[in-house]
Amino acid sequence: MRVGMGYDVHRLVEGRKLVMGGVEIPYEKGLLGHSDADVILHAIIDALLGAAALGDIGKHFPDNDDRYKGISSIELLKQVGKLIDSNNYIIENIDGTIVAQEPKMSPYIDDMRKNIADALGLDINQVNVKATTEEGLGFTGTCEGISSQAIASISPIFNYVYDNSTDVLNPTSKLESTDVKDCDKCTGCSGCQKK
């Protein structure tokens, strides 16, 4: 298993929509950024890229590239999911934290989890999102910005074998890549390189 962590922060400004976890949240301010500035998704993207040792969000989606201007971060997350797949990893779980004094995030958490799970082809129970305040302290406490942290764990596809009797991937111990059978049936897998 490999683990990565991500951190992101964006400034709150007037005249922008507040998008968090792919959900538009009613608020008088939004987050400033080249894309939709979805701070929790950016932290999750960095956590996934970090776990796979594939750099960071700026390497893959630079803020001086007009292709990503105003883009939905859900679309960026989908691209990262494909990148994780193409490097023969399976996402185990994601845990993210939003740090914001306001607005209240709790009414939107389940929708965020669903958006993240759908974008990555995961079950919703593999995705956790939570929110906290900083009791009025720091830039988040004074509503100047919102930050997020995330952790993601991934495993190499070679740690799994396709079980024809249940149609699911099952974790195994001490599985060698040469032992993987029927690998072409694994959904979301680009194929075992050593088959």
CA–CA dist 105, 101 (Å, integer):
10
Is 56 annotated to bind a ligand? Reply is: yes
Is 58 annotated to bind a ligand? Reply is: yes
Is 170 annotated to bind a ligand? Reply is: no
Is 133 annotated to bind a ligand? Reply is: yes
At residue 76, the 3 state secondary structure works out as helix
Cβ(6)–Cβ(42) under 8 Å? Answer: yes
CA 142 to chain centre: 27
CA-based torsion, 38, 93, 77, 4: positive or negative: positive
Is 139 annotated to bind a ligand? Reply is: yes
Is 34 annotated to bind a ligand? Reply is: yes
Is 172 annotated to bind a ligand? Reply is: no
Is 36 annotated to bind a ligand? Reply is: no
Task: Read off the tokens for 79.
Answer: 């691209």
Is 134 annotated to bind a ligand? Reply is: yes
**CA nearest 103: which of 177, 36, 23, 175?**
23
Is 60 annotated to bind a ligand? Reply is: no
- Output the CA torsion 97→128→35→61 (10° steps): 100
Q: Is 121 left (phi over 0), alpha (psi -120 to 50) or beta?
A: left
Q: DSSP letters of 52-64?
A: TT---HHHHS-TT
Is 180 annotated to bind a ligand? Reply is: no
Is 182 annotated to bind a ligand? Reply is: no
Is 57 annotated to bind a ligand? Reply is: yes
Is 62 annotated to bind a ligand? Reply is: yes
Is 158 annotated to bind a ligand? Reply is: no
Binding residue positions for a divalent metal cation: 8, 10, 42
Binding residue positions: 8-10, 34-35, 42, 56-58, 61-65, 132-135, 139
